[in-house]
Amino acid sequence: MPPNYKRKTNRGQTPKDIMERAANAVAGGQSIRSTAREFGIDRMTLKRYTERQDEDRQLGYTPMALCHKVFTPNMETDLANHVKHLADMFHGLSMNRCDKKAGLDWWLGFKKRQNFAIRSPEATSLGRAVAFNRPVVDEFFNNLKAVMDKYKCSPRDIYNTDETGCTTVQNAGSVVTEKGKKQVGAITSAERGELVTVAYIVNAIGSIVPPLFIFLRVHYKEHSIRGGGGATECIGAATRSDWMNEDTFVEYLNDVVKHTKCSPENKILLILDNNDTHISLRAVDLARSHGMVLLTIPPHTPHCSVYGPFKTAYNRAMDAWLRSDPGKTVTIYEIPTLVNQAQMIALTPLNITAGFRATGIYPYNSDKFTETEREREMGFNVHSTQTRSFRD
């Protein structure tokens, strides 16, 4: 039956209770023709219904579409559960894979009955799929609890660091335009841009350590951040890859020591990811000598990051810059200014403390990430810890 088919008769639409009353009247001696006229039922429909009752077949009236179903309800439920299970395991089936044999009409009905939807999946690496699970999360929270208990960490002593990339080409958001228009454009600084890495350190009471900017250069020039009105007391560095390396992270740790005034007598807890540049021997020695306790989070697990609102604010700041300076192109020297504007809007104490609360770091909540059905079904079992804690 075509998906847009419209019925032309009311055959098969008679409620079951009316059919039963009409059948009882026929059983009492009334003719089928007069009974059908009295109850407003098609004569042949009533005749077939009473014949089925006489032959002790199915009681009640079943619409014709249900009589021709390919699968029984139990078989269809099992199939739907299998499709859901594959999606939970990040191996979801495409629409073509689902209806290749049965056809489009069956697929549309199956999708409606099982409340399915067609979604565009997010690319998920195998490492991310297997890393974020209950044993690894428990190991991290056990380490976090041990460190907080040992050093009596208050929220002003708990810091988190992360990095993000800021490009000279903003991500054009949605716009309002005429319905049905084939192509919609938005002005950007260029089609391909340059990237500058920005590293922030925030703490659980909502304060910020001035950021580090990493430029894709062989030699760093001070005017890269000073000429554009960057954040107060921010620092800059240059690498051949525009990402953090061992030297730049050690330099940033020295800046953290200057702003936090940490010492062996006044320790702080710095939570960071498991990147090799963050846990080099030089970085660990520097942290230990200045009273900085480093605790790494498992790979591919959520940070207490506020980079979601930050990126939104950054794109809006670049849109405003392009409108204020028509005809100009954003360069890496404007990025510190745009980052500073985004910082004042997005990196607020409210957003930062909400990030710590959402990940269960502070206030401490080891049950923040519960075991999902996907983890139980896939049978994840991690025997070795993937978090590291560097203490005295």
Higher pLDDT, 258 or 175: 258
**Domains in the chain, start-ordered, CATH in brackets?**
16-67 (no CATH), 73-113 (no CATH), 127-172+192-390 (3.30.420.10)
Q: What pLDDT, in 10s, does the model give residues 283-302? A: 999 999 999 999 988 766 66
375 has a pLDDT exceeding 90: no
pLDDT score recorded for residue 190: 61
262 has a pLDDT exceeding 90: yes
pLDDT score recorded for residue 55: 63
Higher pLDDT, 188 or 275: 275
Entry pTM: 0.64
273 has a pLDDT exceeding 50: yes
108 has a pLDDT exceeding 90: no
Confidence of residue 65 (pLDDT cuts 50, 70, 90): low
Q: What pLDDT, in 10s, does the model give residues 92-101? A: 777 666 655 6
Contact 279, 390 (CB under 8 A): yes
Backbone angles phi, psi at 25, to 5 degrees: -65, -40
pLDDT score recorded for residue 122: 67
